[in-house]
């Protein structure tokens, strides 16, 4: 993710950067993420079993009006029934995610109209039970009225408890059993600010002007627009079936498979857009955008398909900034390994002061159309999207690498310019009043200045310690080994030590565990 300006006080002792750019430009470097694989999508990684927050089963579910009562669960196995935990086990944001099942695929069927902030939809979740005797599970879901929940086609008891949707399964499931859960819902989205993101007023669905809408969800906002296991530990593939009023375009992750006539819930003529993304994706990276767009198609010199959706009035400005995209995606592929997804694109939205690395289709603020933003968000395809964080406490790995890669791109072929830029970054960080370990920042500072820039300084220090050959070999090994899944800071360190052939404990402790 990238915000337009740092919310922190102006740092002291700025140095002038290469090309005559003042340090104020540094404050426009913040950004977001994505990645490509050729051939068939990789197998979904086995989810690490984190600590489970166990909650007793619901004895008397609070049902929506008119929801039929389902008979009590009947044991089909001799095992005692188990409830899935209501946390993925990430101590940094403990309330996110759930255990007891592993999502394989989401299908989101949504009717959306920018002029009417009311959603009607169904989310279909294909999953596998990971507990034996699974009798109850939870989903992250906030707002809307839940009309029905079914499991393998049978009605299921459900209840809303805080920010969770609790589902009693009609029959117990053994470990390894596949099942399909469908949630039908409608109404207006809840609007409340995330405690982890200060520069966007709310996450989930945004209706900026009555003519367009978009979603933004990092880190905890997917649950504001569809029921999900809302933590990167459970990545899945996605299909989007989006009905919008005639004349509008619906955009999502992956590839557009089909467009055909459709009907809005009130009977108006509409259009159905079907998108599919067949690579594992964290829920916070899912995106839906609706508006009047011009589509621009091309490909990188290396053959990566590029498709962008641009507000008509911004086409000239966009094309000037976008001129780097094809070359940059191939250049990053040479450094880190081939682009990991089926295509890459940018979609302009009315999101003041922020852009977001939504996987394969980056949200580009109409006020931040620039080459730095594009390079930053493109780097996230590898760092954050292809390999995601096991814990949100490790945000430095997403934003530090995206910021550093952006600077590498700007100074490619000019080592002196790179060093000058990094000295400017160092001066800004040293003059900044933030004082916390970037490996475990305060939750309210998850997207603050030091996460981006001190994170970039650490990446540069790691490169200097390892040497170029070992450093880039280690990054390619890391992305190959954990691509399509998640990794911890410890796993990243171990991979880089393997490539370097030396211990890196002192360096990692100094940069990640100490405030400095």
Q: What is the mean pLDDT of the chain?
A: 88
Q: Give the whole-number percent of the chain exceeding pLDDT 70.
A: 85
The answer to whether 319 touches 311, Cβ cutoff 8 Å, is no
pLDDT of residue 166: 98
Mean pLDDT of 245-263: 98
Question: Residue 79's pLDDT is what?
Answer: 63
The secondary structure of residue 509, as a DSSP letter, is I
**pLDDT given at position 294:** 98
SS3 282: coil
pTM of the model: 0.87
Band (pLDDT 50/70/90 cuts) for residue 4 is low
pLDDT of residue 313: 95
Q: Across residues 307-325, what is the average pLDDT?
A: 97
pLDDT at 76: 47
Q: Where in the chain are the domains?
A: 2-33+316-513, 92-292
Query: In the prediction, which pLDDT does 383 show?
Result: 98
Quick one: pLDDT at residue 20?
31
pLDDT of residue 339: 98
Is 62 a residue whose pLDDT tops 60? no
Whether 48 has a pLDDT exceeding 50, the answer reads: no
pLDDT band at 434 (very low <50, low <70, confident <90, very high): confident
What pLDDT was estimated at residue 50? 31
Lowest mean pLDDT among 68-82, 343-357, 414-428: 68-82
pLDDT of 11 above 50: no
10 Å CB burial of residue 193 (0-12, 13-18, 19+) is exposed
Helix, strand, coil shares of the chain, percent, nearest 5, are: 25, 30, 45
Residue 507 has pLDDT above 80, yes or no: yes
Report, as an integer, the average pLDDT of 376-390: 98
Contact 147, 182 (CB under 8 A): no
The per-residue pLDDT for 59 is: 28
Query: 3-state SS of 98-118?
Result: CCCEEEEEEEEEEEEECCEEE
- The per-residue pLDDT for 39 is 29
pLDDT band for 2, please (50, 70, 90 cuts): confident
Is CATH 2.60.40.1930 the classification given to domain 92-292? no
- 486: CB partners within 8 A, 6+ apart: 45, 48, 232, 233, 235, 387, 388, 389, 390
Cβ burial 163-187 (10 Å sphere, 16+ → b, else e): bbbbbbbbbbbeeebebebbbbbee
Cis-peptide, bond into residue 32, ω within 30° of zero: no
Residue 496 confidence (pLDDT) above 80: yes
**What's the whole-number mean pLDDT along residues 201-212?**
97
Flag whether pLDDT at 215 surpasses 60. Answer: yes
Give the whole-angstrom CA distance, residue 127 versus residue 190: 26
CATH topology for 2-33+316-513 is Neutral Protease; domain 2 (1.10.390)
Higher-confidence residue of 26 and 482: namely: 482
Q: What is the pLDDT of residue 406?
A: 98
> Which of 61-70, 358-367, 372-381, 413-422 is the least confident region?
61-70
pLDDT above 90: residue 290: yes
What is the structure's pLDDT at 32?
38
- Mean pLDDT for 136-149 is 98
Confidence band of 16 (pLDDT split at 50, 70, 90): very low
pLDDT of residue 190: 97
pLDDT at 428 over 60: yes
Over residues 367-392, the mean pLDDT reads: 98
Provide the percentage of residues in the chain whose pLDDT is more than 90.
82
* The pLDDT value given to residue 150: 98
459 has a pLDDT exceeding 60: yes
Question: What pLDDT is stored for residue 516 in this prediction?
Answer: 64
- Indicate whether 60 pLDDT > 70: no
List of long-range contacts for 68-72, beta carbons under 8 Å, 24+ apart:
68/155, 69/157, 70/155, 70/156, 70/157, 70/168, 70/170
Given a cut of 80, whether residue 167 has pLDDT beyond it is yes
Confidence of residue 56 (pLDDT cuts 50, 70, 90): very low
In the block, tokens 């108006």 appear at: 268
Name the one residue in this structure whose structure tokens are 């188990």.
82
Strands (E), 269-327: 269-281, 288-291, 294-299, 305-310
């Amino acid at each position: 993710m990238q915000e337009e300006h740092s919310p922190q006080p102006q740092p002291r002792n700025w140095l002038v950067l290469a090309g005559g750019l003042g340090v104020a430009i540094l404050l426009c470097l913040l950004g977001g993420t994505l990645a490509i694989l050729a051939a068939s999508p990789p197998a979904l990684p086995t989810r690490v079993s984190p600590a489970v927050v166990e909650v007793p089963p619901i004895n008397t579910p609070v049902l929506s009006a008119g929801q039929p009562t389902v008979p009590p669960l009947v044991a089909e196995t001799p095992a005692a029934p188990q409830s899935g935990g209501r946390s993925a086990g990430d101590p940094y944001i403990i309330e996110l995610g759930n255990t007891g099942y592993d999502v394989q695929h989401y299908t989101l069927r949504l009717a959306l109209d920018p002029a009417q902030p009311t959603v009607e939809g169904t989310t279909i979740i294909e999953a596998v039970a990971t507990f034996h005797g699974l009798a109850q599970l939870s989903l992250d879901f906030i707002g809307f009225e839940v009309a029905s929940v079914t499991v393998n086609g049978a009605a299921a008891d459900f209840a809303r408890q805080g920010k969770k949707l609790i589902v009693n399964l009609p029959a117990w499931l053994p470990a390894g059993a596949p099942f399909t859960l469908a949630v039908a819902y409608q109404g207006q989205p809840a609007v409340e600010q995330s405690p982890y993101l200060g520069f966007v007023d709310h996450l989930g669905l945004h209706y900026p002007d009555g003519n367009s809408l978009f979603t933004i969800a990092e880190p905890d906002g997917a649950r504001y627009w569809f029921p999900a296991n809302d933590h990167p530990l459970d990545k899945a593939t996605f299909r989007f079936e989006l009905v919008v009023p005639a004349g509008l375009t619906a955009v999502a992750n992956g590839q557009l498979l089909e467009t055909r006539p459709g009907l809005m819930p009130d009977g108006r003529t509409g259009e159905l857009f079907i998108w599919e993304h067949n690579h594992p994706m964290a829920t916070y990276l899912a995106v839906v955008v609706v508006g009047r767009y011009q589509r621009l198609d091309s490909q990188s010199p290396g053959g990566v398909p590029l498709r962008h959706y641009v507000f008509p009035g911004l086409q000239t400005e966009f094309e000037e900034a976008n001129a780097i995209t094809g070359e940059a995606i191939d250049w990053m592929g040479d450094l880190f390994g081939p682009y990991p997804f089926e295509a890459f694109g940018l979609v302009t939205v009315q999101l003041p002061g922020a852009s977001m690395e939504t996987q394969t289709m980056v949200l580009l603020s109409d006020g931040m159309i620039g080459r730095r933003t594009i390079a930053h968000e493109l780097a996230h395809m590898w760092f954050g999207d292809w390999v995601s964080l096991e814990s949100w406490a490790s945000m430095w790995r997403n934003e530090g690498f995206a910021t550093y890669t952006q600077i590498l791109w700007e100074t490619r072929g000019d080592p002196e310019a790179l060093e000058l830029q990094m000295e400017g970054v160092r001066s800004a960080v040293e003059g900044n009043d933030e004082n916390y370990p970037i490996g475990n920042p305060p939750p309210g500072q998850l997207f603050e200045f030091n996460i981006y820039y001190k994170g970039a300084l650490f990446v540069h220090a790691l490169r200097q310690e390892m040497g170029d050959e070992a450093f880039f070999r280690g990054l390619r090994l890391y992305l190959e080994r954990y691509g399509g899944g998640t990794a911890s800071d410890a796993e990243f360190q171990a991979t880089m030590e393997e490539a370097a052939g030396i211990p890196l404990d002192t360096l990692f402790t100094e940069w990640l565990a100490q405030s400095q």
